[in-house]
Structure 1
Amino acid sequence: MSQDYLKVNGSKEREIIGQNYFDELVKRSFFQDVEVDLPEYGNIRCKIHDFVHDFLQYVTNNEYLNFDSKLEPNSDEEVPYDKVHHLTLMDPVTGYSMHRILPNCKRLRTIRAIDGSHYSIDLIFQLIVELKSLRTLALCSVSNDIPYAIDVTLEIPKMIGGLIHLRYLDLSGNGELKELPSVMGSLYNLQTLKLVGCWGLEEIDVGRLINLRHLYVNKCSERVLIKGIEKLKHMQTLDWFPVVRCYDMDEGNKWEQLKDVNQLQGSLSIYMKHSRKMAKNAAVMVNKSRLLELKLEFYWNVAEEREIMNGLEPHPCLESLSIDGYGGDAFSDWFSSLHCLRVLSLIACRHYARSSLKGRS
């Protein structure tokens, strides 16, 4: 989708078209060994046969390049860098691959840096700022299949605002990242933003990202402020939303921010700690008919828990509901309206709320 390969016909969404393409290629054994890889990161892992890979490299005229910086310095002399559109850098710890390759790849549309845990984000952006055709940028590191921080100066420079064609940005695992520059609001073509595990972030402002559809913030700080999300009425993915009232500060995410974001689909986890009381008849979740999985995490809400639960009534089409840490003596009456519910998980619910589950099989 970030490369604009999916052509929309009629009212179909690109995500649906892309999923149909993927499923068809799986049926034809083009993709093999498909499995969910770290679901909190929104990733699927699969592979293709070596023969298919080599054939695709031939028919695409070497537009794709996987480069390992551990290779000998002169081993890449025959690579036609001017034809490369999509680049994966393996273990770019020495900086050799960055300095030698990027200035020669003027037509890059994709950069993925893997195992770049010792490389400076500042330096990466200095090298890619001239790549005006860049659509996809992933700077999360992987070690034993677990993304972790790129361990140096973690500051996104203002020059990122020049990458106006960027549609997919993944900075997951950068726990030392403290803030995102305001110029990121200039990335009006951005569709997907992944910040999973960026626990150092205090604020994420998405209000100006008018085309943003998918936001991943799981494992960020519980105090992270997600500003402007109420403006994104067409948002489809939000994996985690913390509603935390801190006694030393009045700011924080509010229930009202989600009220009109009704195109959410898939799964959403809401974390509540000392949450503010919800306005009567707030109907924060009831209109989200495409949301199939909902997880409610209560933490030290005490007296407000039953009132909050009442205001979180989901759409009757909900298929999976998980409730963690709820301390009320009864669940809300809306339980009886969940006719499509297939999975119900109750975790550490202190009073078990038995009364509201009587008669349900």
Structure 2
Amino acid sequence: MFGIYLLLKAFSEAANGEAILTTCLAKFKCLRVLDLSGAIFETFPRNIAKLRHLRYLDISDNPNIKRLPDSICKLQSLQVLLLGGCNELEALPKGLRKLISLRCLEFSIKQTVLPVNEIANLVSLQILSIESCINVESIFGGVKFPILTSLFVSGCQSLKSLSLDGKIFPELETLFVDNCSHLDLELWKGHHEEESSKLKLKLLAFSSLSQLVALPKGLQEAANSLQCLFISNCHNIEALPDWLTTLTDLKTLCLINCPNLVSLPHNFHDLTALETLRIKGCADLCKKYKPHVGEFWFSLPHIKNIFIDEPEEPEKN
């Protein structure tokens, strides 16, 4: 059983790194963890399929690799596959659905259309991270992800739409959307309330979304489940809607670096479950809710933890 927990780390500067890797894979057939993050080889050994016990494979942040062998899909014990930061990767390997034990998948690829049917048929998949897929314009399109609990979408600059509702993601609890400058965040567009199941989101984060001018109305679908809401670096959002107070389980609200955000809902005190409020880098809000002296500070007495940080004024010469 020697080598069962051996961690192989980067052949990033070795001229014959690919040959060394091939040799190592042939020798240590009981490997469970293989970390090659930051390596710069261009091809990946086909004999990876011989590592029948491999559970964790990290090939992330490789700027050169363009293809992966389809033999990766024979790793039926694999639980984690990390391909984020591989910006030259042309496609995911074929036969992805054969990875029956895969729980976490992270990738950056150049494909215009993602193989969503293959991904949706990963029967153990719980965490999905889609990063810097700069050519993708839409994701999911109604394909069901039955046990996915966490979804991260970031750096997809061509992305225009997401299809999200409870029918597609019946178990989704965490959603993080970051740095997708063309995304229309009316996430639940086109769905009618009587036709779509409710999302069970508990944590939702929007960050660096220039198109976000208001919270999507579909967020109300998570009224009975959402506990944490984070909005950061969204420079065009101006107000939070009055229906925000329908989020009866909301415990944490963080508003960071949203300079045009000028108000909270007038009935903000109805968020009786709210325990933590953080406001930072929102000049008007920080002034209005400045501790003890702000115009609307009186509306916050029910909140246990309040952190309000005014933007720093530039130094005068």
TMscore range, shorter length: 0.5 to 0.7
Q: How does 1:93-242 map to 2 (within 5 A)?
A: 93-95=40-42, 98-99=44-45, 101-120=47-66, 123-140=67-84, 148=85, 150-171=86-107, 174=108, 176-184=110-118, 185-205=120-140, 207-221=143-157, 223-231=159-167, 232-240=169-177
Q: How many residues align?
A: 277
8 Å CA contact 1:202–1:223 kept in 2: the answer is yes
**Would you tell me which structure has more helix in proportion to its own residues?**
1
Q: 1:230 to 1:224 in 2, by over 3 A?
A: farther
8 Å CA contact 1:161–1:187 kept in 2: the answer is yes
8 Å CA contact 2:80–2:102 kept in 1: the answer is yes
1:198 deviates by: 3.3
8 Å CA contact 2:128–2:151 kept in 1: the answer is yes
Which residue does the alignment assign to 2:308? none
8 Å CA contact 1:325–1:347 kept in 2: the answer is yes
Which residue does the alignment assign to 2:198? 260
Deviation track 1:272-315 (CA, whole Å, cap 9, x = no partner) reads 63569849xx84443125x234327766577xx5xx61123333
Q: 1:288 to 1:350 in 2, by over 3 A?
A: same
Superposition CA RMSD, Å: 4.1
1:168 deviates by: 1.2
Using the aligned pairs only, state the percent identity. Answer: 15
Which residue does the alignment assign to 1:360? 300
Q: 1:321 to 1:199 in 2, by over 3 A?
A: same
Which residue does the alignment assign to 1:33? none
Q: 1:285 to 1:129 in 2, by over 3 A?
A: closer
TM-score scaled by length of structure 1 = 0.60
1:330 deviates by: 6.0
Q: 1:342 aligns with which of 265, 276, 291?
A: 276
Q: 1:265 to 1:327 in 2, by over 3 A?
A: closer
**Would you tell me which structure has more strand in proportion to its own residues?**
1
Q: 2:212 aligns with which of 252, 273, 290?
A: 273
State the AA in 2 paired with 1:202: E
Which shows bigger deviation, 328-337 or 180-189?
328-337
State the AA in 2 paired with 1:233: P
Which residue does the alignment assign to 2:254? 321
State the AA in 2 paired with 1:254: W
